[in-house]
Structure 1
Amino acid sequence: MSAALEHLRLMAGNNAYANEHLHEACCQLSSEEFAAPRTGFFPSLRETLNHIWEVDRYYLDALQEQGRGLSVFETPHLSTAEALREAQKEVDAQLCGFCAALCEADLAREVPHDRGEHGEFRESVASTLLHLFQHQIHHRGQAHAMLSGTGVEPPQLDEFFLKFDRHPSALKHL
């Protein structure tokens, strides 16, 4: 297996691991705390996690060439941390499965991205995955900071790649 394929598979596993732990922490909040206004790109933990979930669905749709495009954003936002945890877990499993099934030739394959009034753009599978993972990390960091303003301790999310630091529960995502 190439280093690029291995890296993308590890990123998918890290993504699932980090989402799982962040969502578990958010599920400890009351529904009022989860929806409470906070400082960040999105105004609450609920809105931030909904954004992550919907953008993941958008890029997974493009990667799998399902053709739903921007219509994935028409799905109503989920209102509870528990519902979001389950929905995100499902998308993360699909993403891990997609990455596990990739072969070297797939990385350069271009897939369509529906950009609405700007038309359809084609991007490589590798670039789309890198963008998706960067997007996740960016917004998870914001959610992590928001969680710091609650009574729930933010989880350690960066102990995945190095064997020395790896949390035992990360192994199930490898």
Structure 2
Amino acid sequence: MLDYFLTLARYNQWANARLYAAVGQLDAAAIAAPRVGFFPSLLKTLNHLMVTDRIWLGRLTATPDAAIKSLDDMPYPDFSDLRAARAALDGRIIEVVGGLAPARLGEVLVYKTMAGQPHETPMALVLGHLFNHQTHHRGQAHAMLSGTAVPPPVLDIIYFLRDTGAA
């Protein structure tokens, strides 16, 4: 099971790199432009993913990110800064997931929600959520990109598996 989550971490890095390369072809105004989505711009959607990944990584490593105050924080208003931070965080996710002892997958993660409520979730489901959440919002960004002149890239995991020889 740990190998599966490590594959998802690597897929996450691959998909984000492809998406960010496509978004990077737009100018700053187009990246920040209002679009249909839960976080209504490419910039806001991609920042949301950074924020939530930092939250979950903090919970997984018992090092909460005190800088994050809400799920719609915009720590990276400049896309080039966001892109660099995304690449670094994706590397960190691979490092953390790859460093988990297999026994941790059977544990329960005890944490507080953003509202301060105590909560417990099985570790394997936390990791599943981390990567599912990425896919969910990356899909929204992909759809937003479809409304621009830049064609959205293929992000299906099967292409990652073929590209990297992981399958």
SS of residue paired to 1:73: coil
Q: Does 1:24 align with 2:11?
A: no
Deviation at 1:113, TM superposition (A): 2.2
SS in structure 1 at match of 2:160: coil
Q: Name the residue aligned to 1:160.
A: 160
Q: Which amino acid aligns with 2:121?
A: E
Percent pairwise identity: 37
**In the alignment, what sits opposite 1:51?**
48
Q: Tell whether the 8 Å contact from 1:65 to 1:112 is kept in structure 2 after alignment.
A: no
Residue 5 of structure 2 is matched in structure 1 by 8
User: Which of 35, 38, 41 is the aligned partner of 1:41?
Assistant: 38
Q: For residue 73 of structure 1, what is the aligned residue in structure 2?
A: 69
Distance in 2 separating the partners of 1:51 and 1:140: 10
Aligned twin of 2:101 = 103
Between Structure 1 and Structure 2, how many residues are aligned? Answer: 163
TM-score, normalisation: structure 2? 0.89
Please say if residues 47 and 74 of structure 2, whose CA atoms lie closer than 8 Å, have aligned partners that are also in contact. Answer: no
| Aligned-partner Cα distance in 1 for 2:121–2:113 | 12
How far apart are residue 91 of structure 1 and its match? 1.1
Are the structure 2 counterparts of residues 80 and 67 from structure 1 closer, same or farther at C-alpha, using a change threshold of 3 Å? closer
Specify whether residues 7 and 135 from structure 1 end up closer, same or farther in structure 2 by C-alpha distance, changes over 3 A only. Answer: same
**One-letter amino acid of the counterpart of residue 64, structure 1:** T
Match of 1:62 among 37, 56, 59: 59
Question: Equivalent of 1:151, from 142, 149, 157?
Answer: 149
Q: Give, as a single letter, the amino acid of the residue that structure 2 aligns with 1:121.
A: H
Which letter maps to 1:38?
R
Inter-CA distance 103–31: structure 2 relative to 1 (3 Å threshold): same
Q: Which amino acid aligns with 1:157?
A: L
How far did 1:41 drift?
1.1
The 8 Å contact of residues 35 and 41 in structure 2, kept in 1 or not, is answered as yes
Secondary structure of 2:69 counterpart: helix
Amino acid at match of 1:91: L
Which runs of no fewer than 5 residues in structure 2 stay unpaired?
none
